[in-house]
Amino acid sequence: MASHLLSHVPVGVYRGENLQRDWYVIYSKPHKEEQAQFHLGLKGVETFFPRLHLPGPLEKKKRLVPLFPSYLFARIHLPTEYHYVIWAPGVKKIVCFSDTPAPIEDTVISFLQQNADDHGVIQARSQLRRGQEIEVTGGPFNGLWGIIQDPPDAKGRIRILLKLLSRQITVKLGVEFIKAEHAAFGPPVRANIGSGSVSAAS
């Protein structure tokens, strides 16, 4: 677990070191995930806010988006630290099932953290492949269909073979102009978590 993702206990705030703490899903106010994480950190609460870094030449700020918008995770001892969370600026509530805050398995958080860097950022992996047919969704070639000749380069640009006016032309376009999805993790495998199972990445 990355050291700087762990919130430290501020001077004068007591937290029992032997308490059993579990991870809970925190629902934040709109676009207030970072505010909630900051204030929870001031209270000594360990948090994890996974974000996704999208490829492409977009503005840096726009390329970094929450993996789960309006959600983050906090590790607390519910009976004694519940109030730390619900009164933190930016927090709306702790996610409940049947009106009771429900902890999630440590394995789930560990899996996400293993795919993230020290800042909780997960690099999105393009699902675009050589030979794949795609649709252009912006720029001067909007609406045209083409074939990928080369996968995205380090700058997020793709070489596309287009058919235009009965001619085939090769162009380079940013991934933001390509209709496709981006994956946060690799091909799924089955992973046992608790008494059930979930899809996880290898």
119 in any annotated domain = yes
Q: Do residues 166 and 118 both lie within one domain?
A: no
Amino acid, res. 15: R
187 in any annotated domain = no
Find the CATH number of the domain harbouring 167.
2.30.30.30
Tell me which long-range contacts 148-153 makes (C-beta under 8 A, separation of at least 24).
151/126, 152/55, 152/56, 152/126, 152/128
Q: Do residues 58 and 134 both lie within one domain?
A: no
Q: Check residue 190 and give its pLDDT.
A: 36
Q: Do residues 74 and 103 both lie within one domain?
A: yes
As given in the structure block, the two tokens for residue 172 are 């380079």
Return the CA Rg of the chain.
Answer: 21
Find the CATH number of the domain harbouring 42.
3.30.70.940
Q: Do residues 150 and 110 both lie within one domain?
A: no
Q: Do residues 114 and 53 both lie within one domain?
A: yes
148 in any annotated domain = yes
The alpha carbon torsion through 181, 187, 188, 191 (nearest 10 deg) reads -140
Q: Check residue 183 and give its pLDDT.
A: 52
State the Cα–Cα distance between residues 141 and 153, nearest whole angstrom: 20
Domain boundary among 106, 125, 144: 125
What are the CA-CA distances from residue 65 to residues 3, 36, 62, 109, 182 (Å)? 22, 16, 7, 18, 12
191 in any annotated domain = no
Please, are residues 133 and 146 in contact by the beta-carbon 8 Å criterion? Answer: yes
Q: What is the mean pLDDT of each run of 10 residues along the chain (202 residues)?
A: 40 59 95 96 95 67 80 96 96 92 91 90 75 80 82 72 76 72 48 34 34
Q: Check residue 187 and give its pLDDT.
A: 44
What range does the domain containing 113 cover?
Answer: 3-125
Q: Check residue 186 and give its pLDDT.
A: 52
| Domain count for the chain | 2
145 in any annotated domain = yes
Q: Check residue 92 and give its pLDDT.
A: 96
198 in any annotated domain = no
Helix (H, G, I), strand (E, B) or coil at 66: strand
φ/ψ of residue 170, rounded to 5: -110, 130
